[in-house]
Amino acid sequence: MTRKTPGGKTSGMRSRSTAARPAARPDRQGALSQQLKEARRKKRQKQVMRNRLIFGGGCVAVLLIIILLIVKLFGFISGVGKKAETSTITFGKDGKVVFEEVVDFDTEVYSKSDLKDYTNDMISSYNDANEDDSIKLNKISVSDNKAYVKTTYKDVATYSGFTSYQTFNDTYESAIEAGYDFNTKYSMLNEGTKDSAPTLTESQSVDTDTVFAGKRVVAVNENVTVVVPGIIEYVSDANVEAISNNTIKISPADGNNDSTSLVYIVYRAE
């Protein structure tokens, strides 16, 4: 359809219809975009929750490790400060020997400084003669008319040389080569449990070459408490008491502290 212009010319422009047009369709692309945004939001939430769970689990694990280390540290500290109540010889896995001596001490006659000077002089003389520091004084204390002296020796030979007590810690085969005679009766130690203390069986003869082969042996000629680095299996016939799976106490049979006998302790190294 054309229209005439005032100048009588016609216009080639088509007239626009004024009829009502249909309503615009919803923007479906906008709705899809919203759905994608919502899905991404939920995914991020899940990722955050998972990260929080992982972080929380990691924190719990670290906290448990810290607690365990603190418990062990306090155990170590308490163990370091703990003193033996009776004279005790402890054989270490590294070959060292620790001796804790507990004796009656008359404070009216001697002083702690006298004891310390005397002990230091003896140790220094021995170390100087051997040109090494094979003996170390760890601690001296005096209380309630009891003196406590703790010393560390680099090996059994040093301990025997300094104290003049016959002492041994090595394999059964090495003990035989060194001339030790195992021809005596032995009690077997029944390992203790959480609810029961270890016990020693009645002594009896043992085929030592067969039973003790490959085992380790401690030989002590003192009335002391003995701690070995392993599980005790046999103890030679003597006046002994089982304290724990790795500890026995040797007492004089006739009540005379000056009377001693050689005691063999056969143990399984750990």
Q: 85-161: which CATH architecture?
A: 2-Layer Sandwich (3.30)
Q: Of 173 and 194, which is predicted with more confidence? A: 173
pTM, whole model, 2 decimals? Answer: 0.70
Q: Give me the mean pLDDT over the 133-143 stretch.
A: 94
Residue 218: what pLDDT?
98
Residue 5: what pLDDT?
44
How much of the chain is in helix, strand and coil states, percent to nearest 5? 35, 30, 40
- Residue found under tokens 């006739």: 254
Render pLDDT for 11-70 as a digit per residue (tens, 0 to 9): 444 444 444 454 555 555 565 566 666 666 777 777 777 777 777 666 666 777 777 666
Render pLDDT for 246-262 as a digit per residue (tens, 0 to 9): 999 999 887 777 788 99
Q: Give me the mean pLDDT over the 198-221 stretch.
A: 96
Residue 244, token pair as written in the block: 């724990």
Q: Of 39 and 125, which is predicted with more confidence? A: 125
Element (H, E) at 90: strand 88-91
Query: From residue 24, how far is each of 20, 32, 207 by CA, in Å?
Result: 12, 18, 108
Render pLDDT for 69-123 as a digit per residue (tens, 0 to 9): 665 555 444 445 578 899 999 999 999 999 999 999 887 778 889 999 999 999 9
Q: Of 192 and 93, which is predicted with more confidence? A: 93
Query: From residue 9, how far is each of 1, 13, 31, 166 by CA, in Å?
Result: 14, 12, 51, 142
130 pLDDT more than 80: yes
Residue 147: what pLDDT?
94
Report phi then psi at 152, rounded to 5: -120, 135
Residue 45: what pLDDT?
74
- Asked if 267 and 218 touch (Cβ cutoff 8 Å), the reply is yes
204 pLDDT band (50/70/90 cuts)?
very high
Start-to-end Cα distance in the chain:
112
Residue 146, token pair as written in the block: 């009891």
- Asked if 127 and 135 touch (Cβ cutoff 8 Å), the reply is yes
Residue 182, token pair as written in the block: 């195992």
Q: Of 53 and 244, which is predicted with more confidence? A: 244
179 pLDDT more than 60: yes
Residue 237 CB neighbour total at 10 angstroms: 16
Q: Could you tell me which of 210, 211, 245 has the C-alpha nearest to residue 229?
A: 245
- Asked if 231 and 245 touch (Cβ cutoff 8 Å), the reply is yes
Q: How far is CA 127 from the centre of its chain?
A: 32
Residue 69: what pLDDT?
64
Whole-number average pLDDT of the chain: 83
